Amino acid sequence: MSIRRHRPGEATPSSERVSAAAPRPKEASSRPRLAERLSRTRQAVAAPFGRIGVGRIDEATFDELAETLLSADVGLKSTGRILDALREKVRAGAVGAFPGALITALRAEIVAGFAGEDRALKRNEEPPSVWLFVGVNGVGKTTTIGKLAAQEVAEGRSVVVAAGDTFRAAACDQLASWATRCGATLVRGADGADPSSVIFDAVEHATARCRDLVLADSAGRIHTKANLMDELRKVKRVADRPPGRVSEVLLVIDATTGQNGLLQAREFTSAVGVTGIVLTKLDGAAKGGIVLAIREELGLPIKLVGIGEGVDDLVPFDPDDFAAALLGD
Amino acid sequence: MFEILTGRFEEIFTRLRGRGRLTDADLAEALREIRVALLEGDVNLEVARELVEKIRSRASGAELERSLTPAQQVIKIVNAELIATLGGEQLRIAYAPKPPTVVLLAGLQGSGKTSAAAKLARWFVEQGRHPLLVAADLQRPAAVAQLRLLGHEVGAAVFSMPTDPVDVARRGVAEAVRVGRDVVVIDTAGRVSIDTALMDEVRAIGRATSPHYSFLVLDAMTGQDAVATAVAFHDALALDGVILTKLDGDARGGAALSVAKVVGRPIAFVSTGERPSDFEVFRPDRMASRILGMGDVLSLIERAEQTYDHEVAGRAVAHLRSGRFSLEDFHDQLQQMKRLGPFSGLVGMLPGMPREMRNASIEDSSVTRIEAVIRSMTPDERENPAIINGSRRTRIAAGSGTTPAEVNDLLNRFKEMQKLIRSSGMMAPVGPKGRRDKRKGGRVTPARSR
């Protein structure tokens, strides 16, 4: 198996020139960016809580709240738990009588679910740090790696990107395009090559050249396919072999995913020990409420959020902004 | 795909089946369970509500009272409502009198448009058409390269130009006319439905190409957002149908129900795996049957017919009849079954399969191991496993990367299987007393029996 390495500045193998995404305005901190994106969603979605908080809080009120949470893919179980907790607060008189008090309390309840999380991306003491990206098909693993590589390079780190998706047609080209643009090194193999070897080779290369970070892509795979999950187990095992040490296994979840997201999280965690979630496509109308259920059942922290297709559209997860967008106010 | 919805309904209906008459309370409970099942299955809130209401009114009307088995009646009503919601009849592609027939694919990022475009092109080729793929996704890096590779794989030409999506699409259709292709399949970039600029762009692509069919490509795992997305794309393109993708997962599939209902258009095709051949016309009645635990046997049979090598099958039958079913035959059958697709996918299609079995993972890897063991045997050993002694067993184990114990296990299991085959009478028609049945003109059971 031949492994070709692309240095920054080398032409990508694909011949057509793809028009770059329209440049987006740069912003200093992440909070205004996320808020700006999410406000588009709020404008697009009619505010559901016109009436709530004005007048009596009764079961009809809670039904409306349930509908909002269910419509955000929070799921029956988590919705039930959150609203039970809210009911208790109301009974205990802990919710004020002013309009909007109930929503404020609900938002606080949601935010509380994310308390105590360590959302920092873990780096090894001895470089390179190795971050493996996993998930089902089409969720945005490759795009996330592209954005993250660019951001890390901009912060002064040396990045090696491993093209571990050896199955999808032109997946390596897609990643190469990102790597070339930002000056990360790409390590790739031949089509259909063993993904474990490609990633191992990337780790060896990064170790030998004292690079800071290896971002390893993997092919999208449906978690019910035993052979594909076996392959992923092997990928993790091999990536973890000295000189490598995988410090993050990031499960990428599409915000439009319904209850299946929980099944995905369960299976991938059981197979390769997921350390954190990247929630993508939050710039659409979907609220990504399934992460509440994932957090509740598996305790996985959400580390990053994808809010668009541009390089800057990857930001740290913020529970307050997330809860506000979920409730649409 | 609808396995979990199926499982849930099975629980409900097992309870219903046991009762002679349905009380109001029974019905209310059943409807509650149905609503929970639908919501857990990602069916849109509003759609679930309407569906339950419809079932309630039909179930509690005069219809039910007249029936002798109210439980069966409820099941029939749920089935009918599901089929109706899923789109009633199959969509049949009506080709344009003046070619080419233009098909436009649109949807969210990652929904599987590019894969679906290639699979659809392959489907058209199977129908005897000559499609042209148009790569109008200029947004995602290497999207054009991906479509080119896939197009090559399925035998369809690909047109692309580095200009802008509307221009490429328009020129693609013109190119199809120029070179005499009778179908055009246009892949577009993924876009979020609330991005007005991008929705305007897809509207413009529609206007520039006047598609005969506009399909929303929708991921089967999509949750509550499915409806809003579908409505937005329908507004922009006047959708003709939906292509549902990634059905090989264990997503509950509620998005399919919701979108069909709200947009009022059928699900035209479904993508059921990663291979280009994993693409079929959607059959609402079969999906509804799947939800109700009646299995999807027809799809399985069709798939089998398409992929089974008849010569191999014929040989196996001949051997079975004459009592010569050997490890060689067994190996051939395993190969044939592999061509049908992963075992895990097949299991869900079998009717009456208990939920536990459906959810248990069928190990494709164990099939591979069995094949390896058989392949490490000599032809003699395959025809007559009785000659396999200790040293042969060790050799076979070494050659297949297994253990002598595993080889032994396979041989024992195969012996049991042969016994079963013989005793089941598959080998020859046997009368009730186990003797040769002269009336049926059967042969005597072979000498080499127990």
- Give bridge partners of residue B148 from the DSSP assignment: none
> Percent of chain A beyond pLDDT 70?
83
* B164 chain-A contacts, CB cut-off 8 A: 19
By the 10 Å C-beta count (0-12 exposed, 13-18 middle, 19+ buried), B204 is classed as: middle
Report the complex ipTM.
0.83
For B219, the closest chain A residue by CA position comes to A257
Q: Which residue of B has its CA nearest to A223?
A: B249
Q: Which secondary structure element, helix H or strand E, spans residue B57, and what is its range?
A: helix B45-59
Q: What is the structure's pLDDT at B172?
A: 97
> Which of A234-248, B114-128, B150-164, B398-412 is the least confident region?
B398-412
Q: Do A138 and B192 touch (CB under 8 A)?
A: no
Sorting pLDDT into bands at 50, 70 and 90, what band is B438?
Answer: very low
Contacts of B138 in chain A (CB under 8 A): 18-19
Chains A and B: how many Cβ contacts under 8 Å? 174
Q: Considering only CA atoms, give the Rg of chain A.
A: 21
CA distances from A133 to A186, A189, A250, B95 (A): 15, 17, 5, 43
pLDDT value at B390 more than 80: yes
| Rounded mean pLDDT, B30-54 | 87
The average confidence (pLDDT) of chain B is 79
- Upstream peptide bond of A316 is cis (omega within 30 degrees of 0): no
Return the residue in A260, A307, A309 with the most chain B beta carbons within 10 A, the one to mutate for interface testing: A260
Residue A92 has pLDDT above 80, yes or no: yes
Which residues on chain B are in Cβ contact (under 8 Å) with A230?
365
For B328-390, strand residue ranges (E) read: none
Contact B251 A137 (CB under 8 A): no
pLDDT tens figures, A185-199: 999 998 789 999 999
pTM as predicted: 0.75
Secondary structure element (H or E) that encloses residue B187, with its range: strand B183-188
Are the beta carbons of A72 and B255 separated by less than 8 Å?
no
Which residue of chain A comes nearest to B149, CA vs CA?
A169
Is residue B277 scored above 90 in pLDDT?
yes
Does the structure show a pLDDT above 80 at A18? no
Of the residues B47, B193, B218, B219, the best mutation for testing chain A's interface (the one with the most A CB atoms within 10 Å of its CB) is B219
Rounded Cα distance between A114 and A75, Å, is 17
Distance CA A204, CA A196 (A): 12
- Amino acid A10: pLDDT: 40
Residue B150 has pLDDT above 90, yes or no: yes
Instruction: Name the residue among A146, A223, A285 with its Cβ closest to that of B228.
Output: A285
pLDDT in tens, B66-93: 554 565 667 677 778 888 888 766 788 9
Task: Measure CB to CB from residue B365 to each of A19, A227, A254 and give the nearest one.
Answer: A227
CA atoms within a 13 Å half-sphere pointing along the CA-CB vector of A320: 4
Residues of A in contact with B229 (CB under 8 A): 256, 284-285
Chain A partners of B112 at a C-beta cutoff of 8 Å? 137-138
Share of chain A above pLDDT 90, in %: 72
Confidence of residue A52 (pLDDT cuts 50, 70, 90): low
pLDDT in tens, B392-410: 999 999 988 888 888 888 8
Residue B302: predicted pLDDT: 47
Phi/psi of residue B433, nearest 5 degrees? -90, 10
Q: What is the pLDDT of residue A100?
A: 83
- Pairing of β A302-306 and β A129-134: unpaired
Q: Which amino acid is at B10?
A: E
pLDDT digits 0-9 by tens, A250-277: 999 999 999 999 999 999 999 999 999 9
List CB contacts (< 8 A) between B344 and chain A.
224-226
Query: Does residue A242 carry a pLDDT above 50?
Result: yes
Shortest Cα distance, chain B CAs vs residue A125, angstroms = 34
| Nearest partner of A90 among A51, A62, A63, judged by Cα | A62
CA-based Rg of chain B, rounded to a whole angstrom?
A: 27
Q: How far is B224 from chain A (nearest CA, A)?
A: 6
Residue B25: pLDDT over 50: yes
Residues in Cβ contact with B423 at an 8 Å cutoff, skipping those fewer than 6 apart = none
Yes or no: say if B246 and B271 are a contact pair by the CB < 8 Å rule: yes
Amino acid at B253: G
Confidence band, pLDDT 50/70/90 cuts, at residue B326: confident
Lowest mean pLDDT among A5-19, A140-154, A168-182, B229-243: A5-19
- Per DSSP, helices labelled H in chain A are 30-44, 59-71, 76-91, 101-112, 141-154, 171-182, 195-208, 226-239, 260-272, 290-298, 319-327
Distance from CA of A21 to the nearest CA of B (A): 6
pLDDT confidence bin for B337, thresholds 50/70/90: low
What CA–CA distances, in Å, run from A166 to A194, B109, B275?
7, 21, 15
